[in-house]
Amino acid sequence: SQTIHQWPATLVQPVGSPLSLECTVEGTSNPNLYWYRQAAGRGLQLLFYSVGIGQISSEVPQNLSASRPQDRQFILSSKKLLLSDSGFYLCAWSGGQSSNQPQHFGDGTRLSIL
Amino acid sequence: AQKVTQAQTEISVVEKEDVTLDCVYETRDTTYYLFWYKQPPSGELVFLIRRNSFDEQNEISGRYSWNFQKSTSSFNFTITASQVVDSAVYFCALSEAFTGNQFYFGTGTSLTVIP
């Protein structure tokens, strides 16, 4: 069965420090991968998605970047964190290229910027 | 414009009551898919159901049921005989065949079931 791993679970970082959040998927190949941020309560904001290695689409201009160095690995990065980067970050995967596939989410990373 | 609207921000019910969570969507695509997710306090989003635009048949899964009505662009979710474990934030989402990979999530409805 497919599983998605996301780490770390929680992270406290000072303003201006770098960031690297990692997400890996097991049990499937060539998944679509997604990074979301959930800030101030509930709304889910799509940050990046990827349909293949090295292919990244950015939905929102911001202080963050994403990379997909391997088929089942998706990394969210920042060179210098801002206070506004605080939030709950969720990685997700879906199978195939069709829009009918549900997205399956990791457990999330709670990021606090001090 | 918001593609998925969940007008109910917060709902509280007493245990064993029935509760319906509303979801209204907007799309010009004739082929689209609707989803419901549950986010318990622990944070992860759990996939509950998918429905495609060509299948208006209502679905029941245990205490959960979903009512899809294209005429009103709604995909409502009912929990029968609610339990404390149902307390969570529930998200409705839309994906369109035209835009492919992108999901449009509603802002969520926070459900609290009071024992």
pLDDT digits (tens, 9 = 90+) for B75-95: 999 999 999 999 999 999 999
Q: What is the pLDDT of residue A87?
A: 92
The residue written with tokens 């791993």 in the block is A5
Query: Quick one: CA torsion of A12, A81, B42, A92, rounded to 10 degrees?
Result: -140
Q: What is the pLDDT of residue A41?
A: 66
CA distance, residue B48 to nearest chain A CA (Å): 9
Residue B91: which of B17, B33, B13, B5 has the closest Cα?
A: B5
Q: What is the pLDDT of residue A61?
A: 65
Any CB–CB contact under 8 A between A24 and chain B? no
Cα(A23)–Cα(A108) distance, integer angstroms: 10
What is the DSSP secondary structure assignment for residue B80, as one 8-state letter?
S
Q: What is the pLDDT of residue A97?
A: 66
The list of chain A residues with pLDDT below 70 reads 40-42, 61, 96-99
The list of chain B residues with pLDDT below 70 reads 1, 100-101
Chain A residues closer than 8 Å to B35 by CB: 102-103
Q: What is the pLDDT of residue B102?
A: 80
Chain A residues closer than 8 Å to B108 by CB: 42-44
Closest residue on chain B to A88 (Cα): B43
Q: What is the pLDDT of residue B55?
A: 86
Any CB–CB contact under 8 A between A39 and chain B? no
Query: Residue B80 phi/psi, 5° resolution?
Result: -95, 140
